[in-house]
Structure 1
Amino acid sequence: MTDETTIVPLLEPREGIPPVIEDAAALAHVVRAFAEGTGPVAVDAERASGYRYSGRAYLVQLRRSGAGSALIDPTHCPDLSELDAALADTEVVLHAASQDLPCLAELGFHPRKLFDTELAGRLLGYERVGLGMMVENVLGFKLEKGHSAADWSARPLPEDWLRYAALDVEVLVELRDVLHEELESSGKLGWAREEFASVLAYRSPAPRSDPWRRTSGIHKVRSLRGLAVVRELWTLRDGFASEADLAPGRVLPDSAIVAAALELPRTTKALTEIPPFTGRSARRHLREWLAAIGRARTLPESELPQPSTQGDGPPPANRWMDRDPIAARRLAAARAVVAALADEHHMPTENLLQPDAVRRLTWEPPSLIEEETISARLRELGAREWQIGLTVHPVTKALIRLETKGEI
């Protein structure tokens, strides 16, 4: 841990702000330079979350020893497959890799070897694992994080934004090197490698069949007719947002959808009396919103959406005692074991063993509770071998103890 009195502001990239790469010739030069560089390559991507519909990257930053830093504009250079080929055998250093890997994949950049500095920080027990705090606590440099939520789709990008972006990869490899040493000295490097491999292997689940059910505040809507309004407005908004490449909330906030579902306005005047519908973007489509509400009003009973049903997983844990007291006791016992182990190994419980795996294991355990069957079940649920190695014996022992006591 760095002494606060020695924190040094990181104000400028070592070689200055690199020019933004916006054409094929400049990109080819970057590919050659990075292919000739040495050691891991630091990578970051800036999106426009909250501003744009898509999760695409609007700036990609890289840094490698011998090559310096590069800022690539994917709107002009949308194909990074040559860079990907040039770095195929290179370890890629990302912070919170799961956030950036999808948008990098869209550009044809697919890391084969990964070091995730945020995940390493979690395994090592750092309490605050944001990039700024990790750089400050581990390296003693202070990063300015004021532009993390900016609209990176804006053009031209201001100079202070570009400086911020370049600094995000300025010391990422140095951070990686220190964390690598800490992982090795603590005996956690093998665990980290399994975690990094899992991040690279992860594939997004299939889209939800009813994505409109994730509307914030939908729990307030009790009637089926109201749910139909939510569905109609959500679907219409999603089409507008996709066409305009705007974040859905900028077209119409969730609060407007829920309010309309509760009040069921019949006229434009009544609709505009709902505050969220007075925004510029919402007013642009007042006729369409009202028509969508009208469609929901006139749907036959047989076509109304039904309340959401439980998915393939267990119910929320706070309902277990009523639904299945035996499972609730199994869950409490397993959670206590995992929490104690996580504390012993100085990491968050969710990194020692995924909470969903604990819930599914204890809701529907193997018919025969023994280490071999518990290991197999945890493996099915996506637990890594290091996690199974640490948890299978104490978890199995705790579940058997419940059986022996006659509590299950």
Structure 2
Amino acid sequence: MENLPLTEDGIAIILVASDEALRNAVAHLQQHQELALDLEFDQNRYTYGFNLCLIQIADGNGTCYIIDPFYIDDLSPLFAIIENPAIAKIIHHSNNDILLLDKLGCHIKNVVDTDVAAKVINYERSSLATVLKEEFNTEIDKSQQSSNWNKRPLTEDQLRYAAIDVIYLHKIKAKLLEAIEKEGRSHWLEEENHLLEQLKFTEPENPHLRLKQAFRLNYYQQYILKGLYAFRDELAQEFNKPAPYVIPNDALVDLANNPNADIHEWLNHTKGIHGGLKKPKNERLLKEALENTKKAAKANNISDDYPEHRFHRPMRTPETERRKELLTEVQQKIVAKYGEYASKLIINQSLITDYSQTGRLRCSKKYATDIVLQTASELGIDIPVMEPAAPKN
């Protein structure tokens, strides 16, 4: 849509859809010490891959920029602001935003995550809508939450929705941090924010084995599945569709389980196959990919044996049960002191299980480790701590 004058709750909404407009926005934004930030993205919902669709930034002083990367060649001026440690970036539930920025080569600094801040003061539900309702009695319209952000032109409703995700974050941050300081938990939030800044985007290892029922296949069938997965991925990129829209996950595993199936019959009797795959050229490419994978499996002597089940139940002995009971006692006291939901930042079942098995507390958060050890000491319980690994030369 054209850059019509829009406002939301007194905040000017400015659509930025050119490199020149971005440079002007950056010149304005870099004069502020705190910016509210959010991304709209598509993660294999409408298109292939993990793709940036919009960037929203509010200055906390009456202006919100909606930056459209589809019309901008160079986002580096904006990324320089996001990477500037002197400017705080207020984000609500930042994990995926940080991962996408990292994927794009932007390494964010000085994060303040208001979702984590709400958890620190024991919010049961910490969504943006919930926090606004609880703290400011403000209702927001989330009807565009499932919007397809790849489509252009953007509608007025989409622009307003995108703006709402950032225009309240400055006052939310101020209100939550005031409560956190009263509780003496500011160092919790600082450490949690620092950990978020360390998040790195990585492609999953052996993603084909993450498909449902893939673990039931033998080594040969898993090898076939890996080849089919790669073929599907290439075609999904070509079609710019999420890979399961090309061949559903269950159908891919089924074909790997029956690699000698008649491909033409399989394509025409399997639900959910993308029409483009049924074209003669792509049908031929699928046949070739399957045959080449089978030949490679034979050349590499891939066996028909079944892998051992990778999931092993935790060992149960009198000692592991004793450790579990002791750390559970510590957890209960932490819950009583800090609240059920805040305590989940400190100690959870995974930490308890790990301790029961290893006999050492292995926690990546200093404040959480300190609280666990202090609480254990108050209960007269000795909790050995896993020593950090020595740095490699």
Change (3 A) 1:113 1:320: same
Change (3 A) 1:108 1:296: closer
Aligned length: 370
Q: Does 1:363 align with 2:344?
A: no
What is the CA-CA distance between 1:357 and the residue it aligns to?
A: 4.3
Change (3 A) 1:104 1:30: same
Task: Tell me what 2:301 maps to.
Answer: 302
Q: Deviations over 1:85-139 (max 9, x none)?
A: 4562121100111110122345565432121011111122111112222222222
Q: TM-score of the superposition, structure 2-length normalised?
A: 0.81
Amino acid at match of 2:20: A
Task: Tell me what 1:386 maps to.
Answer: 367
Change (3 A) 1:251 1:229: same
| Aligned 8 A contact 1:80 1:108 in 2 | no
Q: Does 1:60 align with 2:66?
A: no
SS of equivalent to 2:70: coil
Q: Deviations over 1:3-51 (max 9, x none)?
A: xxxxxxxx961356634212121111111221234x5211000001222
What is the aligned counterpart of 1:334 among 302, 327, 332? Answer: 327
Q: Deviations over 1:219-269 (max 9, x none)?
A: 4x3433432332222121122224444322222221211222344452134
Q: TM-score of the superposition, structure 1-length normalised?
A: 0.79
Amino acid at match of 1:330: R
Q: Does 1:165 align with 2:162?
A: yes
More deviation in 206-215 or 232-241? 206-215
SS of equivalent to 1:266: coil
Q: Share of identical aligned residues, percent?
A: 20
| Aligned 8 A contact 2:121 2:342 in 1 | no
Q: 1:141 and 1:116 mapped to 2: Cα distance?
A: 20
What is the CA-CA distance between 1:355 and the residue it aligns to?
A: 4.9
Task: Tell me what 1:119 maps to.
Answer: 116
| Aligned 8 A contact 2:224 2:294 in 1 | yes
Q: 2:50 and 2:323 mapped to 1: Cα distance?
A: 40
Change (3 A) 1:197 1:306: farther
What is the CA-CA distance between 1:326 and the residue it aligns to?
A: 3.6
Q: 1:267 and 1:161 mapped to 2: Cα distance?
A: 46
Task: Tell me what 2:69 maps to.
Answer: 74
Superposition pairs for residues 284-295 of structure 1, below 5 Å?
Answer: 284=279, 285-295=282-292
Q: Does 1:275 align with 2:274?
A: no
Q: Does 1:96 align with 2:96?
A: no
Change (3 A) 1:73 1:19: same
Q: Does 1:140 align with 2:134?
A: no
Task: Tell me what 1:156 maps to.
Answer: 153
Amino acid at match of 2:263: T
RMSD: 3.2
Task: Tell me what 1:369 maps to.
Answer: none
Task: Tell me what 1:406 maps to.
Answer: none
Structure 1, unmatched stretches of 5+, are 1-10, 367-373, 402-408
Q: 1:305 and 1:170 mapped to 2: Cα distance?
A: 58
